[in-house]
Amino acid sequence: MRAQDVIRRPLITEKSSAQREGLNTLAFEVDARANKIEIQKAVEAQFKVKVAEVRVANCHGKLRRQGRFAGRRPDWKKAYVRLAPGEKTIDFFEGV
């Protein structure tokens, strides 16, 4: 799997912003089939930083209704990536 296919998008929430500032941790939505090693290599290759730790969480899609019709959003995977000590945070998170 290519690095561009592993990382889908950054997650920018209140929780991820607090972790980015305090714990030097970034949050990403990643491919559901990716493992921790693939996520680490993708982040290091794409953003030129050293990764200390990767934690993943499988998120279940919510049930959504439109009138009497019910459907589900797809399941997805979230990754929390802690950068190595001394690493600078990724630039595109700065503009947010």
Q: What is the pLDDT of residues 52-64, one digit of tens each?
A: 999 999 999 999 9
pLDDT at 89: 82
Superfamily of domain 3-84: RRM (RNA recognition motif) domain (3.30.70.330)
3-state secondary structure the chain: CCHHHHEEEECCCHHHHHHHHHHCEEEEEECCCCCHHHHHHHHHHHHCCCEEEEEEEEECCCEEEECCEEEECCCEEEEEEEECCCCCCCHHHCCC
pLDDT at 95: 54
Q: What is the pLDDT of residues 22-69, one digit of tens each?
A: 899 999 999 999 999 999 999 999 999 999 999 999 999 999 999 999
